[in-house]
Amino acid sequence: MSTLLELSTVQVVLLALSLAIGRFVYSYRDYRALGTRPRPDLVPFPNKQTYLLGDLLAVWKDRKFYLGRFWNNQQRHAHLLRDEKGRADPSKAFTVTLPGIRMILINQAERDAFDNYEKGPLFRRSMQQVLGDGIFVVDGHQWRYVLVSMMPSGGGGLTTPRSLQRKATSKIFTAGNFKGIITSSIQTQLGKLLRVIGGHADRHEAFDLADLFFRFTLDSFTEMAFGMSTGALDTDEPVPFAVAFDYAQGVMDASPFSPITERFNGTKTKMDEAVRILDEFAYEIISQREIEGRDGKSGADTDLLSLYMALRDEGGEPLSRSALRDALLNLIIAGRDTTAQGLSWTMFRLLREPQYFAALREEATQLGTNVEDVDYDTWRNDMPTATATFYEGLRLHPSVPKNAWQAKGDDVLPNGGPRVEKGDLISWNDWIRARDPEIWGPDATAFKPSRFLGPDGRLGRPDEWTYHVFNGGRRLCLGMNLALFEGSAVLAALSSEFDWEFEAGYLDGTEMCEMDNTPLYRPSLTLPMAAPLRVRATRRTTA
């Protein structure tokens, strides 16, 4: 006691501060990240955690190989999620922590508690500059409002998100629009794509097929949306809209540190310029339509912009210019990259296992029409093999390989868990689920289009929660049929018109996923290939 009394005030303060720091550090002895609560009921993911940083350094180190190494770790340590009898324990789940963020990793997407989960501020902050208040950014009441604004005046008395989504889908993605606006755009741009590839074939030169797919889908989606394409397929030069679009897409992968880092690494300035180019493109077309009097009353439904301009919100008012811009850019960003990437991965699989081309070609010869003129009805009724092939490419390489939703309140997930606390991020990974033998059988990692075909050759529609490529339930992708139609038409045409091979040395010279022996992907919200898909095409001279 006398010793303590002899200490100076400064020494006492320093002692107290040291004890407080020691207690604080000791409270994080489980290696969880700063700002996250203890969760002994969850299983730390088998990374090397760091005091106060949790899994941050491990995640950053493995970001280039995130999906493959993540899959390998999960496979090797799956026993940690089982009970003493070796059965899967639904109350257990792996968890990852970053400063201020706890993420719970589940094996299936959340089905039932839609109203308790949202994209959250981190996602909105990274996406809103480009996508505004579009349907892929907003949550809750705003999400309902966006859907109402896509409906006839008054919303027809519908109040649930599910029925609102169905109404919105029926308004924009009707069979009539598929037979008109959508089919016309796809046929026009597919014809251009075949001519470009034919030119490469005639010159006996290798080319980047993935880049052509990006140009094709950009042109087809901008033509659907605005009635005019960017002309990306008409030139080998960079197209300003495409460059800006690509840059924005790459930047929008959410990071908790982006508000700070982007101000020092030049990203903010570049992103502002990219958004300016996108805005200029969209608003110039909208302004021209307003000058022409294309407000939806003329009945000129030649593109999706004219349809959106004809819609009315709950008060009977037309959509604002910013709402039109947001709706159309959401549509393009949802369909352009995802479809192009799905085609790239599927063609890679076909080139590596070319025996599957034969069934595609046989089906194409039976269509009774030029392959570049395939319409919506032909796809729905007569192209099960092409659709099953695209299904399988998307299964193994989902265009949105991972996703996360933030809990607005405490919850317990269906079928016994795990327990979720307010603020937790619930994350699932469809790339990993596609390789899970408990879901897809012992041949889960194999490319096998026949898994979607019945004994009679008819296409089987997979359950949306097992085959989660297009999300499910109330968040089921509005453009699912559009993507499947476009992808199937392209596969049929490319298989019918050309023979294919990799450029010499491509497989040996391309960096591959460690666990999957497929090309490395680039870290992104979606699943782009990190390297060009270098191929050669030869015109087919026989059926």
Residue list for the binding site:
477
Q: Is the peptide bond before 38 cis (omega within 30 degrees of 0)?
A: no
Q: Is the peptide bond before 418 cis (omega within 30 degrees of 0)?
A: yes
88: which strand partners? 82
d(CA 212, CA 196): 9
Q: Is 298 within 8 Å of 287 (Cβ atoms)?
A: no
Amino acid letter for position 357: F
**Quick count: other Cβ atoms within 10 Å of Cβ 103?**
21
Calculate Rg over the CA atoms of the chain: 26
d(CA 437, CA 182): 37
51 Cβ neighbours under 8 A, 6+ residues apart: 25, 28, 31
Strands 425-429 and 101-105: parallel
220 Cβ neighbours under 8 A, 6+ residues apart: 185, 186, 188, 189, 190, 229, 486
- Detail the residues annotated as belonging to a binding site for heme: 477
Greatest CA span in the chain, whole angstroms? 102
345: which 2 tokens?
């991965």
Q: Is 502 within 8 Å of 535 (Cβ atoms)?
A: yes
